[in-house]
Amino acid sequence: MLNELNHVIEYIEEHLTDDLSLEIISEYAGVSDYHFRQIFFYLSGLTLSEYVKNRKLSEASMDLLHGEKVTDVALKYGYQSMDGFTRAFKKWSGFLPSDVIKKGISKSFPKLSFIITVKGGINMEFRIEDKPAFNLVGVSNRVPIQFEGVNNEIVKLAQSITDEQKIEMHSLQNIEPYEIVNASYEADANFLKEEGDLTHLIGVLTTESQVSDLLEVVPVEAYIWAVFPNQGPFPSTLQDTMAKIYSEWLTSSDYEVINAPSFSFTKMDKNKINFAYSEVWIPVRKR
């Protein structure tokens, strides 16, 4: 996957003055658009669109420094108006395009290069499971996207579950893992920047379809699942595992992630404070 990422970086460099479609970039990588954007963000810390915009404006800054006209540079990098280019350039650099020409000041954003870094030789435990179609059944709500720390809105959602809902969920639960799971799906477009909301469901897995109005039902198709057990301080160990799945495991495996609900479950250790065993379940397919 790292080779594909570096090929894509070169492709972007060769087409900076073209109308770069993010879908075409992902297609060039040979993987799904969803998978590529996830991997790119976890490795670079930038969304794909942010990276392309930064590279375009960086090259525009160099062209201005070399004496090209602002109008020509704006059109060269796909801006339909001077105002649009000026606003984008000032937001990115902190100064106006004309300042580059008049004062000789500039800003750069170099192209990325992805390399493999071995960190301590620690193996990441995982298993692959085939799973038939099932329903996620439980209580859900839109919650703010948050990659680190305790999400208070999820805590509130858990506290809102009634005894009646718990009894029904328990009666419906008939497929592994036989645990209360936390599932996430339908994230806003800016979820990779930790902005916006996603739907979070607390519930169980079941093959039953007859469910009362007390619970939400989310159908999940038959997929292959990559399962990642982890154990340690909660929630930091679970969140660190999630990050490593995207930044390390998916970049070196033969699988790509599918845009479908993922879920996890956690069992707290009664003898240790904030210590837990968790499993993260990610829907994947062979690349």
pLDDT digits (tens, 9 = 90+) for 183-234: 988 876 554 444 567 889 999 999 998 999 999 999 999 999 999 999 999 8
Return the minimum-mean-pLDDT range out of 52-66, 103-117, 133-147, 234-248. Answer: 103-117
**Two tokens at 210?**
């007859």
Domain ranges of the chain: 2-103, 127-286
Residue 39 CB contacts under 8 Å (≥ 6 apart), including other chains: 1, 5, 31, 246, 247, 250, 251
pTM: 0.68
- Higher pLDDT among residues 121 and 255, named by residue: 255
Helix (H, G, I), strand (E, B) or coil at 136: strand
Say if CB 256 and CB 31 are below 8 A apart: yes
**Crossing angle for the helix pair 22-29 and 33-44, nearest 10 degrees?**
90
pLDDT digit string, tens, across residues 160-181: 999 999 999 999 999 999 999 9
Residues 184/280, Cβ–Cβ less than 8 Å:
no
Is there a cis peptide before residue 219, judged by omega within 30 degrees of 0? no
What pLDDT shows up at residue 190? 53
User: Stretch 106-131: mean pLDDT, rounded?
Assistant: 73
CA angle, 24 then 30 then 35, to 5°: 85
pLDDT at 148 over 80: no
Confidence tier at 120 by pLDDT (50, 70, 90): very low
Strands of 78-192 (E only): list them: 127-131, 134-144, 181-185
Fold annotation for 127-286: Multidrug-efflux Transporter 1 Regulator Bmrr; Chain A (3.20.80)
How does strand 255-257 pair with strand 134-144?
unpaired
3-state secondary structure at position 58? helix
State residue 174's pLDDT score: 94
CATH dotted code for 2-103? 1.10.10.60
CA distance 50 to 55: 9
Query: Using CA atoms, how far apart are residues 1 and 7, in angstroms rounded to an integer?
Result: 10
Cα maximum dimension of the chain: 73
- Give the pLDDT score at 239: 84
> 33: which 2 tokens?
């658009």
Separation of alpha carbons 158 and 81, rounded Å: 49
Please state which of the ranges 80-89, 149-158, 231-240 shows the lowest mean pLDDT: 149-158
Residue pLDDT, tens place only, 6-20: 888 888 999 999 888
Q: So what's the pLDDT on residue 2?
A: 67
Q: Is the pLDDT of residue 115 over 50?
A: yes
Tell me what pLDDT residue 75 has. 95
